[in-house]
């Protein structure tokens, strides 16, 4: 099965880039499943039902989330329906789920949304929780496992890879909005610390530069905002899973309306 994962799709510019490029991505790479981290899809903070439906109609199969999952309260019914995930390690009383088992290419895939600790809201320990959940999936015969690890600290993400390599199919980091080049295939697990944003590229992590600069220069500022006009980028990863092991993975990127290109293949550890 082939999976396309796009992280931190930000506001209207991100939605525009996805809708423009997804037809050519489907034609060229034929993904069986399209997963998008959509917690910033509605003007940078949260995901509304309207924008979720817009992106479902454009080709998203499943959304993952993060610390902004709750910013738009009207999304809660969709969290309960299961096509929009929120981090698994929020309290059990929180609406929705952090995992969904889907069918793709005549096989089952467990999609897990997990959140780190550093600078994040108070949640359960992601490391102790995920060990138990992966073990349960293995007991059920499910070996195709993808984790969106929404975390600030690169050390947390790398530590999760060290703990789970050979046990899950892929771990892709989200949240920082800055893509990394450490794509690797190790013991059948694909890993990248952060996929990077899809949205505005000529500012500060997809947001208008005014408020971030105010915070750096004065020590305080107002609400971050997504620009109406900007230079845009799409970033994602495509990976292929066979019998629980990732066999190929690469990063794609597109600038504005330029053609989507493969910019990096995962390094294969031997």
- The pLDDT profile of the chain, 270 residues, written as one tens digit per residue, is 999 999 999 999 999 999 999 999 999 999 999 999 999 999 999 999 999 999 999 999 999 999 999 999 999 999 999 999 999 999 999 999 999 999 998 999 999 999 999 999 999 999 999 999 999 999 999 999 999 999 999 999 999 999 999 999 999 999 999 999 999 999 999 999 999 999 999 999 999 999 999 999 998 878 899 998 999 999 999 999 999 999 999 999 999 999 999 999 999 998
Task: List, by residue number, the catalytic residues.
Answer: 68
77, 82, 86, 90: CA torsion to nearest 10: 90
pTM of the model: 0.96
Report whether CATH 3.60.21.10 matches the domain 2-268.
yes
226, 158, 267, 196: CA torsion to nearest 10: 0
Residues in Cβ contact with 242 at an 8 Å cutoff, skipping those fewer than 6 apart:
1
- What's the pLDDT score for residue 270? 84
The residue among 20, 55, 17, 16 whose CA lies nearest residue 35 is 55
Where does residue 58 rank: exposed (0-12), middle (13-18), buried (19+ CB within 10 A)? middle
Evaluated on CA atoms 91, 224, 58, 22, the torsion sign reads: negative
The angle that helices 126-139 and 154-164 make with each other, rounded to 10 degrees, is 30
Helix, strand or coil, per DSSP, at residue 160: helix
Tokens of 204: 């500060």
User: How far is it, in rounded angstroms, from Cα 151 to Cα 161?
Assistant: 13
Could you tell me the residue ranges of all domains in the chain?
2-268
């Amino acid at each position: 099965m082939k999976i396309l994962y796009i992280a931190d799709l930000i506001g209207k510019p991100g939605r525009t880039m996805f809708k423009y490029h997804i037809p050519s991505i489907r034609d060229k790479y034929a993904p069986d499943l399209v997963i998008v981290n959509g917690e910033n899809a509605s003007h940078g903070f949260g995901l509304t039902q309207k924008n979720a439906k817009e992106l479902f109609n454009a080709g998203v199969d499943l959304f993952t989330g993060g610390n902004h999952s709750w910013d738009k309260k009207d999304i809660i019914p969709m969290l309960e329906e299961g096509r929009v995930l929120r981090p698994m390690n929020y309290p059990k009383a929180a609406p929705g789920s952090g995992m969904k088992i889907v069918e793709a290419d005549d096989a089952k895939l467990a999609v897990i949304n997990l959140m780190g600790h550093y600078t994040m809201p108070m949640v359960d320990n992601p490391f102790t929780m995920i060990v138990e959940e992966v073990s349960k999936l293995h007991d059920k015969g499910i070996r195709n496992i993808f984790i969106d690890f929404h975390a600030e600290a690169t050390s947390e993400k790398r530590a999760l890879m060290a703990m789970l390599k050979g046990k899950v199919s892929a771990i892709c980091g989200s949240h920082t909005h800055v893509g990394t080049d450490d794509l690797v295939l190790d013991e059948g697990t694909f890993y990248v610390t952060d996929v990077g944003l899809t949205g505005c590229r000529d500012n500060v992590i997809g947001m208008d530069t005014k408020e971030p600069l105010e915070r750096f220069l004065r020590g305080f500022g107002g609400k971050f905002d997504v620009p109406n006009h900007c230079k845009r980028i799409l970033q994602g990863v495509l990976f292929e899973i066979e019998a629980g092991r990732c066999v190929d993975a690469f990063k794609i990127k597109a600038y504005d309306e330029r053609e989507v290109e493969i910019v990096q293949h995962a390094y294969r550890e031997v």
